[in-house]
Amino acid sequence: MALLALYDLSSPYFSSTKQRAWILTGFTSAVMTLLSLPFLYDFVAGNASVLYVHSRGALDVYALRFFQSYLISDLILGALSYPDQVDLLSGWIHHSVYILIVEVAIYREWTHIFSLASIMELPTLVMSIGKLWPKFKSTVLFATTFFLTRIFFHATLAASYSLSHNGASVSHSKIPAAILSVLLLLHVFWFSQCIQGFIRRANIPLASPDLKPSEPAIPLRAVPELVGARQLLARSSLWRRRRIHRRMVYDKARRLLPAAGVAQFTKFYDMLPGRQTLYDAVGLGGRESEMTN
């Protein structure tokens, strides 16, 4: 109920449904990241040995019940308030599986393992901040924290709990190692999707090849006599990209055309009107220096 009340109080401060869908996620990831620090300290102080990570009694259980209540609340709000933001894999399946994992951890008294692994909520916190306040968005920071916690640290935990000499901390059960290994595959899949997104964005051309040089980026009738500085900057940026793309087409054609055709193509290119001529034609010749700064 407290999480639902938090959402109800905070949602008016965010304009879009996409932002509001990250309110509870951001708050919960911050809480779980902080609660994981004592357990992370045990792990580091013990020379990266899970044998030194111990339960802190009621704190573990309260932390896991809090996380479980978040999963349920997010599904309820997802069904009622932002259904388009909760997909099948990362929403319904993910949350349902984690509700079960939390219950198993509490029942088997493995709450210290889940609390230690909660440091993996750090990249979720980074992403939540970027979703709620876009000016703080950092895909590089998200990818870095994701790799360090959900790939490297996660793999370390899975390997540690699979070793026989660490079995005493989990009553010599292979269940923690198995669960960690399966979830690691999911995190590797998500990380690969993140990297593919970086590659796709890096391959986006500066300007669309379908944009013809004769087509103005902005209709001339939309250009007022007096244009604000922001509008001038926007037009300058568009025209600069068109000029760069024009140069790229020219260079590519020179490489593809046979030697006999290069001279003809160069002659045609030189016949195209220059930038100053175009500016004079639309009455912006006097503002060329403003638009290029």
Per-residue pLDDT of 109-162, as tens digits, reads: 999 999 999 999 999 999 999 999 999 999 999 999 999 999 999 999 999 999
CA atoms of 112 and 119, how far apart (whole Å): 12
User: What single letter denotes the amino acid at residue 81?
Assistant: S
The larger pLDDT score, comparing residue 279 to residue 147, is at 147
A 10 A CB-CB count for 97 gives 15
Nearest-CA neighbor of 124 among 222, 38, 190?
190
Task: Enter the pTM of the model.
Answer: 0.68
CA atoms of 157 and 145, how far apart (whole Å): 16
A 10 A CB-CB count for 137 gives 14
Nearest-CA neighbor of 24 among 39, 38, 14?
14
Q: What are phi and psi of 174, to 5 degrees?
A: -95, 0
Tokens of 169: 């901390």
pLDDT tens-place string over residues 166-215 = 887 788 899 999 999 999 999 999 999 988 888 888 776 544 445 444 44
User: What single letter denotes the amino acid at residue 12?
Assistant: P
User: What single letter denotes the amino acid at residue 114?
Assistant: F
Q: What per-residue confidence (pLDDT) applies to 161?
A: 94
Q: What per-residue confidence (pLDDT) applies to 172?
A: 83
Q: What are phi and psi of 83, to 5 degrees?
A: -65, -30
The larger pLDDT score, comparing residue 234 to residue 80, is at 80
CA atoms of 66 and 63, how far apart (whole Å): 5
For residue 12, how far is the Cα from the chain centroid?
24
Question: For residue 265, what pLDDT band results from cuts at 50, 70 and 90?
Answer: low
Residue 278 has pLDDT above 70, yes or no: no
Burial of 88 (0-12, 13-18, 19+ CB in 10 A): exposed
The per-residue b/e assignment along 175-184, b for 16 or more CB within 10 angstroms, e otherwise, is: ebbebbbebb
Dihedral sign, CA of 85, 22, 128, 133? positive
